[in-house]
Amino acid sequence: MERQPVYTIPYKWSRTVWIVTSSLFVGVAATLLYIIYGMLNHHGSEELLTLIPLVVVLVAVLIGCEGYAPQCLEVGDGRIVVVRRYNSVVLRREEIVSVRQLSPQECRGTIRLMGNGGLFGYTGTYWARSIGRFSLYTTSMRNLFLIETTTHGRVVVGCDEPQRILDFWQK
């Protein structure tokens, strides 16, 4: 079987993702600096040790969210891959039942059941009236595709080059 070319389409952050991610970083840094400043002025440096668990948890959450955020989409050679630092999502052509582009109306009123709603992107399990329950992997809510599979259920991915996914499916 002849190998097809693989196209790598980087994910670009939407304005909302930029705002949420930047705001969170600034907010966490400002809060930690304020707490440290207050402890040093009023209680002494020995109480700074009580901040270690908080800092560890915050750093772990940030690393986890960034690691599971979509980095790029690879389309071709019989598969669609949502590349992430940890645990990339591989959708093989033989597992894919259907692929279609979603209209903005179909995504209105989407509810996040479990996952990330803007920090480094949108990932996790979501629900929409017109789609039902699905897994979402994107950094922008534009150019979304619903991919129905036999193994992963319904998967929605974003793609800044929608024609690549359509070409993949139509071949």
Which tens digits make up the pLDDT trace of 69-84? 999 999 988 899 999 9
Query: What total number of domains does the chain contain?
Result: 1
Residues pairing with 116 in the sheet: 123
* Domain range for 10: 1-171
Which tens digits make up the pLDDT trace of 130-152? 999 999 999 999 999 999 999 99
Model's pTM, two decimal places?
0.85
Identify whether the C-beta of residue 143 lies closer than 8 Å to the C-beta of residue 15: no
